[in-house]
Amino acid sequence: MSLNVARLRQQADELDAELEQARFTGRSTDGIASAVVTGQGKLVDLTIADHVIRSTHPQRLGPAVIEAVSAARREAAQAGVAKVRAVVDKDQKWVPEPASGSAPGQQEDSIPRAGVAAEPRAVRRDTDEVEEESFDQLDFLDDDLEDEGRDRW
Amino acid sequence: MSYENELYHLAREIDATVAAVEQAAIGAARDRVTWTLPGDLGSVTVTGAGELVDVSVAVAAMKDYSASSLSRQLLLGIQRAEETAAQRYEAAIAAVRDEERLV
């Protein structure tokens, strides 16, 4: 099997451009902060809820911002890893996102919700997954031991 | 020096250089950059690896801002801190690279 370096490099460049355009949103659990990052993890937007400024617990703001940024980056990383794997893994095929009518910097759902991982849409397996039971999981001795009414060694 | 010996020493040299760069990268990733927000608003801290680890906002100063302007200040602060951290990281790696005369 030969490695097509030029092709691999081209795919990496295309993937890089795609990740730069992708957007992922993360929110803090209390809803105070919301962050948007690119597929490369670069922070491009940050929104703080109006009520936090005059709330009784403004000190919650800092941790909320960190949580929102981390959540957004986690989403981006999950999607990015899957796409990178598709480029380098020869069992998978990767094709660039089709150029849609949407404005640059926006995905179909321009602001994906946190907790909903962006599906690596272009990733697909060529081979059918075959569910097999591993022999490691089988215990051939159990029945015999119960029948004989004795423990293992 | 025989060809094999030359190859052996070259391999040793490459190993040492890679180890030096790895150590520099580990150290640079741990370094932290703190960016002070304007107007005594607070500060943000990121690691050399680009991880946002602290956002401190002065509660008293916060009252002077609207939510949108506070968001903007924090966004800019985080971006600046991350840019600075990335530059320092690159510089730390470059210093080792230059010292080891790597291309």
* Residues of chain B contacting A67 with CB distance shorter than 8 Å: none
* Residues of chain B contacting A63 with CB distance shorter than 8 Å: 55
Question: Residue-wise pLDDT tens for chain B (103 aa)?
Answer: 688 899 999 999 889 888 988 999 999 998 999 999 998 899 999 999 989 999 999 988 888 899 999 999 999 999 999 999 999 999 988 888 777 665 4
| A65 to B74: CB separation less than 8 angstroms, yes or no | yes
Give the one of A41, A43, A49 whose C-beta lies nearest to B67's C-beta.
A49
| B78 to A46: CB separation less than 8 angstroms, yes or no | yes
Q: Which of A53, A55, A56, A59 to mutate to test the interface with B (most CBs of B within 10 A)?
A: A53
**pLDDT, mean of residues A99-118:** 42
Nearest to A120 by CA among A77, A59, A60: A77
Q: pLDDT tens digits for A22-31?
A: 999 999 999 9
Give whole-number Cα distances, A24 to A40, A139, B57, B98, in Å: 10, 45, 25, 37
Is A80:A19 a contact under the CB 8 Å cutoff? yes
Match 């981390």 to its residue by tokens.
A70
Enter the pTM of the model: 0.68
Give the one of A43, A50, A59 whose C-beta lies nearest to B59's C-beta.
A59
- Which of residues A56 and A52 earns the better pLDDT score? A52
Tell me the two tokens of residue A30.
């209390």
A63, closest residue in chain B (CA to CA): B55
Q: What is the ipTM of this complex?
A: 0.82
* Residues of chain A contacting B56 with CB distance shorter than 8 Å: 62
Q: Which residues contact B77 (CB under 8 A, 6 or more apart)?
A: B35, B37, B43, B44
| B67 to A48: CB separation less than 8 angstroms, yes or no | yes
Dihedral of CA atoms A10, B90, A23, A66 in degrees, nearest 10, equals 160
**pLDDT, mean of residues A138-147:** 51
Q: Is the pLDDT of residue A112 over 70?
A: no
Give whole-number Cα distances, A2 to A5, A17, A61, A132, B96, in Å: 9, 26, 53, 31, 35
DSSP string, B19-87: HHHHHHHHHHHH-EEEEEEGGGTEEEEEETT--EEEEEE-HHHHTTS-HHHHHHHHHHHHHHHHHHHHH
